[in-house]
């Protein structure tokens, strides 16, 4: 969240996603970066990092409703990103 008022945090979550393939990690980070810059809700702040082969998504939210909405949105985006990457990888084997 980018605001002049500090957010009162009462709910937190950290998602640690392990990748076997560094290319998928880099592509996933790139795909999620625009979403981090434009938050799902103003009531949550998101931090995206990579540590080795782990994508680490930290969420600080004002309440559990904002936390749940943000976690669900990022899990859907991650699933979609990985699905597209897998589809592209499968296409390579066909040609």
Residue 59 located in a structural domain = yes
What pLDDT, in 10s, does the model give residues 77-89?
999 998 998 888 8
Q: Is residue 2 part of a domain?
A: no
Give residue 71's domain range. Answer: 11-94
Is 82 among the domain residues?
yes
> Per residue, what are the HEC states of the chain?
CCCCCCCCCCEEEEEEEECCCHHHHHHHHHHHHHHHHCCCCCCEEEEEEEECCEEEEEEEECCHHHHHHHHHHHHHHHHHHHHHHHHHHHHHHHC
Tokens matching residue 31: 């795909």
Domain count, the chain: 1
Question: Does some domain include residue 5?
Answer: no
CATH number for the domain harbouring residue 16 = 3.30.310.50
Tell me which of 3 and 52 has the higher pLDDT: 52
Q: Identify whether 1 is part of a domain.
A: no
pLDDT digits (tens, 9 = 90+) for 53-70: 999 999 999 999 999 999
Residue 3 within any structural domain of the chain? no
């Amino acid at each position: 969240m980018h605001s002049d008022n500090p957010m009162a945090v009462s709910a937190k979550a950290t998602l640690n996603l392990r990748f076997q393939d560094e290319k998928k990690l880099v592509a996933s980070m790139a795909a999620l970066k625009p979403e981090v810059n434009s938050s799902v809700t103003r009531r949550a702040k998101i931090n995206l990092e990579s540590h080795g082969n782990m994508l680490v998504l930290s969420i600080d939210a004002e309440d559990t409703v904002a936390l749940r909405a943000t976690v669900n949105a990022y899990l859907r985006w991650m699933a979609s990103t990985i699905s597209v990457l897998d589809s592209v990888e499968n296409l390579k084997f066909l040609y």
